[in-house]
Amino acid sequence: MTLIPTAYAASEGLSIHLAPEVLTTVGGLPITSTLLTVWLTMVVLLIASFFGTRRLKLVPGGFQNALELLIGSVYDYIKDVLESEKLAKRFFPLIMTIFLFILAMNWMGLLPGVDSIGIYSEVESHGEAASKLVPFFHPPATDLNITIAFALVAFVAIELAGVTLLGVWKYGGKFINFHSPLAFVIGLIELLSEMARLISFSFRLFGNIFAGKTLLMVVMFLATPYVLPVPLIAYELFVGFIQAFIFAILTLYFIKIAIEEPH
């Protein structure tokens, strides 16, 4: 196991791939570099929240102030949208977690060391053996498995919100009803667009982050790799924030649509 510097990694050429690299398998489950980065993100979030809330003061300062501003403004916004304190209390933790998790995940993927620290392993490419760098860390949202996991969490939360607040029959009546042939067709279309959310949720996050990572890699192989990536990395920071924001806010609005009384 050898740690290698970035410049050396660059000498072996551009590698763009969809499937994440498998580091090891534990009991048949592959541990990929993207999964490892997600775990690292969890640890970072845990540590940040632990130290952020360890010594809470009545008059906040510094870090606590920033956290209170973030949490408070998001809570007020959710209360505004859902128009109810009770519902806001119920859905705020989920939406805030989605936002913070995806934000931390996306920004983690831009840190130096991601995609450049790893081990060399023998792989077979085009019939001949070659040694290839397998990085420990890789931007997590470039792995469709992880974005689909997020999409499933959001999807299940939205459906559960509708079922628990409206009841199974009333909520199901939004999709399958026999009032008139037109209402039946519209219900089916609603059902289809409900399912399409799974695809659009997961592929939006995946597509944006994957495109960003590929763009950064291509730019790094251009003539001036020291200057050109800088504005692009700033742009990717923005994209990472916007994607986290979009994911969380769409979950919020879909919950709002799901808990609306059918008419």
Residue 160 near residue 171, CB atoms below 8 Å? no
Q: Which of residues 77-116 bind another protein (CB under 8 A)?
A: 77
- C-alpha span between 162 and 113 (Å, rounded): 43
Q: Binding string, 122-161, against another protein, x = CB under 8 A?
A: ----------------------------------------
Q: Binding string, 8-47, against another protein, x = CB under 8 A?
A: ----------x-----------------------------
- Tokens describing residue 263: 């008419």
Q: Which of residues 196-215 bind another protein (CB under 8 A)?
A: 196, 199-200, 203-204, 207
What DSSP character marks residue 32? E
Q: Is 253 in the site for another protein (CB under 8 A)?
A: yes
State the virtual CA torsion across 89, 43, 105, 213 in degrees, nearest 10: 180
Comparing CB distances to another protein, the nearer of 136 and 201 is: 201
- C-alpha span between 244 and 140 (Å, rounded): 13
Comparing CB distances to another protein, the nearer of 171 and 206 is: 206
Comparing CB distances to another protein, the nearer of 51 and 235 is: 235
User: Minimal distance in Å, beta carbon 224 to another protein?
Assistant: 27
User: Minimal distance in Å, beta carbon 211 to another protein?
Assistant: 9
- C-alpha span between 94 and 139 (Å, rounded): 22
Comparing CB distances to another protein, the nearer of 18 and 227 is: 18
Exposure of 162 by Cβ count < 10 A (0-12 exposed, 13-18 middle, 19+ buried)?
buried
What are the beta bridge partners of residue 121?
A: 132
Binding-site size for another protein (CB under 8 A) equals 14
User: Minimal distance in Å, beta carbon 203 to another protein?
Assistant: 4
Exposure of 113 by Cβ count < 10 A (0-12 exposed, 13-18 middle, 19+ buried)?
exposed
What are the beta bridge partners of residue 133?
A: 120
Residue with tokens 């060399």: 120
User: Minimal distance in Å, beta carbon 124 to another protein?
Assistant: 20
Nearest partner of 243 among 39, 137, 105, judged by Cα: 105
Amino acid at 44: V
Q: Binding string, 231-250, against another protein, x = CB under 8 A?
A: -----------x--xx--xx
User: Minimal distance in Å, beta carbon 59 to another protein?
Assistant: 28
Q: Is 168 in the site for another protein (CB under 8 A)?
A: no
Binding site for another protein (CB under 8 A): 18, 77, 196, 199-200, 203-204, 207, 242, 245-246, 249-250, 253
